[in-house]
């Protein structure tokens, strides 16, 4: 059987039809297929008591999407939009449109069945494919499902239309263009399910949420076995595990290993301090600092001391320590004792990853929630993991200091990009001097569009695509899609650090698009950030003062075995003449 054919041949519809959860006569889409497949595997292996699935998952099939488009005459209107049109106009068109009347009774049935906050998730027929995941390209909306019946109905309808609008958003459009997927062939299904979690002081969220992968394609150390897998865990809603924000990465070969380092300052620079939840009082998705809710967290979560600590004076203190003796205490989710205190969680993750990979006959990617006291593990998503193409060993040659532009020695996977002609660079000294973070991102995007067809090097401070612009340039996928290698500069003086964790949608995009990645830590042994080179070579800066465009001839060589990556000037760059 050909690669991926077994999963492709699986029929997901009986699972939903037998339970009365199937709405419409079309296809259920990628996310729905993954969940149905997971149920089949758990059932056949006698694990439905050990691993829960959402209590119900209604699927609005693609036939309803087609009806929505036709009744509102949206096919032609969407074709008139610019290919990389920004989202507001598109969302406005969809929000003003009406859902088909044929959906009325089913929406009422959903409201009768689900009385807790809901997630409304995309399930496109293109999504979670064997080779292309579309991870993060379409919308997931959290609905508080609170208030009177009319407001609950409005919230549900608005979320469905938001998912429909995301079918044509810029990130999805660019992803399709890059992978030669024909425009106009999209069909969107929608999953509606209760959010796995609990009500805690008008805040609804799971204690822990995570993603896990059966293969590790980008390892922080050769000691990590690729086939052991990796998990990424946060407190609260799982948005932080898939976005480029803070969550704890556990490499399952050794869950106690920290790729960022073991010094308190290093740990804090990569630790979650905020958590996400659905606020029923304000009918909204919200974010809070843990330090403002310590009493609530300690009351509601008996295992809190295993993952939440105080940080002060470059030291960690236990959650029960007296903060009156601290100068400036910060509450941070270090997850310091989670592997020791919750061994069942990690054993179950490893067991499921092995099982799903074996049954999928493909590497597996899953999302889950966990309540520690009850040992309640809920699987909310399963999909095939897009496979990273390791190009094999790359030999790093001897290079003179003058020709070494950048060098890093952590989180390096094998790869090479030779004879590239462009470097796009965001100056760390200028980025953030004024609060025009998004202008910088749009400027990068303009150059990215001009370099269509070129594989260029993109260099900048902190985390590319960060959801928090203070941590890195908040570019969208469509604004870096043509790059061949991303370099993230760690600048300690500015509190900016690369994200040394595999598992976000961002890294899945890099794997799927074969984009190389190199973190460089300014001032650390074995790392080179050649500021003199960037200041002495000619550049143009037509789009934003902080964004420079260099031309020349450059090589990027990454050796995953020695964990060394280097960017070389091959001698064709011009000396300064701005």
Closest CA to 127 of 559, 508, 563: 508
- Encode 375-398: b = buried (16+ Cβ within 10 Å), e = exposed: eebbbbbbbbbbbbeeeeebeeee
Q: Which helix (H) or strand (E) holds 418?
A: strand 415-426
Residue 1 has a pLDDT of 43
Distance CA 550, CA 256 (A): 41
Greatest Cα pair distance, the chain, in angstroms, is 71
Residue 577 has a pLDDT of 37
Question: How far is CA 555 from each of CA 404, 444, 566, rounded to the nearest angstrom?
Answer: 10, 21, 8
What are residue 106's phi and psi, to 5 degrees?
-70, -35
Cβ neighbours for 26, distance < 8 A, ≥ 6 positions apart: 61, 62, 63, 64, 65, 66, 187, 189
pTM of the model: 0.85
What are residue 417's phi and psi, to 5 degrees?
-140, 105
DSSP annotation of 414 reads S
149-166 vs 87-96: helix crossing angle, rounded to 10 = 130
Question: Which two three-digit tokens encode residue 307?
Answer: 């993952």
What is the rounded (10 degree) CA torsion for 40, 43, 45, 48?
A: 130
Residue 451 has a pLDDT of 95
Cβ neighbours for 439, distance < 8 A, ≥ 6 positions apart: 544
CB 519 within 8 A of CB 500: yes
Distance CA 179, CA 254 (A): 36
Distance CA 421, CA 574 (A): 12
Print pLDDT tens along the chain (578 aa): 454 677 888 999 999 999 999 999 999 998 999 999 999 999 999 999 999 999 999 999 999 999 999 999 888 777 666 554 555 677 788 889 999 999 999 999 999 999 999 999 999 887 656 566 666 678 899 999 999 999 999 999 999 999 998 887 777 777 777 666 766 667 899 999 999 999 998 899 999 999 999 988 777 777 788 899 999 999 999 988 877 678 999 999 999 988 777 889 889 988 999 999 999 988 899 999 999 999 999 999 999 999 999 999 899 999 999 999 899 999 999 999 999 999 999 999 999 999 999 998 888 999 999 999 999 999 999 988 866 555 567 888 999 999 999 999 887 878 899 999 999 999 999 998 888 999 999 999 999 999 998 999 999 999 898 878 988 999 988 899 899 999 999 988 887 888 765 656 666 766 667 789 999 999 999 999 999 999 999 999 988 999 999 999 999 999 887 889 999 999 855 445 33
Residue 4 has a pLDDT of 60
């Amino acid at each position: 059987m050909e690669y991926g054919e077994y999963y492709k041949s699986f029929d997901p519809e009986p699972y939903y039809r037998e339970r009365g959860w199937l709405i419409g006569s079309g296809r259920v889409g990628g996310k729905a297929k993954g969940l149905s497949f997971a149920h089949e595997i758990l059932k056949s292996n006698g694990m439905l008591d050990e691993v829960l699935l959402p209590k119900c998952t209604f699927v609005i099939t693609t036939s309803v999407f087609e009806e929505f488009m036709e009744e509102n005459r949206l096919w032609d209107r969407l074709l008139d939009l610019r290919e990389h049109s920004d989202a507001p106009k598109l969302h406005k068109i969809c929000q003003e449109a009406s859902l088909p009347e044929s959906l009325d009774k089913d929406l009422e049935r959903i409201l009768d069945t689900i009385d807790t906050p809901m997630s409304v998730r995309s399930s496109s027929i293109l999504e979670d494919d064997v080779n292309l995941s579309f991870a993060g390209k379409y919308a997931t909306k959290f609905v508080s499902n609170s208030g009177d019946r009319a407001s609950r109905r409005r919230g549900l309808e608005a979320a469905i239309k938001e998912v429909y609008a995301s079918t044509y958003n810029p990130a999805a459009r660019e992803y399709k263009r890059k992978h030669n997927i024909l425009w106009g062939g999209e069909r969107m299904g929608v999953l509606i399910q209760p959010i796995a979690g609990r009500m805690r002081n008008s805040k609804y969220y799971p204690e822990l949420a995570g993603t896990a992968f059966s293969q590790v394609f980008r390892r922080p150390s050769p000691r990590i076995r690729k086939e052991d897998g990796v998990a990424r865990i946060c407190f609260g809603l799982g948005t932080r595990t898939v976005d480029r924000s803070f969550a704890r990465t556990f490499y399952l070969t050794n869950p106690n290993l920290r790729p960022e380092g073991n010094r308190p300052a290093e740990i804090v620079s990569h630790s979650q301090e905020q958590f996400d939840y659905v606020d029923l009082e304000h009918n909204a998705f919200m974010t809070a600092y843990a330090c403002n809710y310590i009493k609530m967290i300690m009351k509601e979560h008996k295992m809190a001391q295993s993952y939440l600590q105080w940080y002060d004076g470059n030291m960690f203190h236990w959650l029960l320590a007296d903060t009156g003796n601290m100068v400036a205490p910060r509450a941070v989710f270090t997850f310091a004792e989670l592997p020791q205190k919750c061994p069942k969680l990690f054993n179950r993750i490893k067991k499921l990853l092995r099982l799903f990979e074996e049954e999928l006959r493909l590497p597996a990617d899953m999302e889950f929630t966990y309540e520690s006291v009850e040992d309640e593990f809920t699987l909310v998503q399963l999909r095939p993991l897009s496979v990273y193409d390791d190009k094999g060993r790359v030999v790093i040659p001897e290079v003179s200091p003058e020709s070494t532009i950048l060098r890093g020695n952590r989180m390096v996977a094998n790869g090479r990009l030779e004879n590239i002609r462009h470097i796009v660079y965001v100056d760390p000294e200028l980025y953030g001097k004024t609060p025009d973070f998004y202008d910088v991102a749009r400027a990068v995007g303009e150059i990215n569009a001009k370099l269509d067809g070129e594989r260029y090097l993109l260099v900048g401070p902190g985390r590319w695509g960060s959801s928090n612009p203070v941590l890195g340039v908040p570019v969208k996928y469509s604004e870096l899609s043509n790059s061949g290698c991303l370099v993230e500069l760690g600048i300690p003086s500015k509190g900016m650090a690369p994200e040394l964790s595999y598992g976000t949608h961002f890294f899945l995009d890099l794997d799927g698009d074969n984009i190389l990645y190199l973190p460089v830590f300014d001032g650390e042994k074995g790392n080179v950030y050649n500021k003199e080179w960037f200041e002495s070579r000619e550049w143009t800066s037509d789009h934003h003062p902080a964004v420079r465009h260099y031309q020349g001839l450059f090589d990027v060589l990454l050796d995953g075995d020695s964990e060394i990556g280097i960017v070389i000037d091959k001698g064709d760059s011009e000396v300064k003449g701005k």
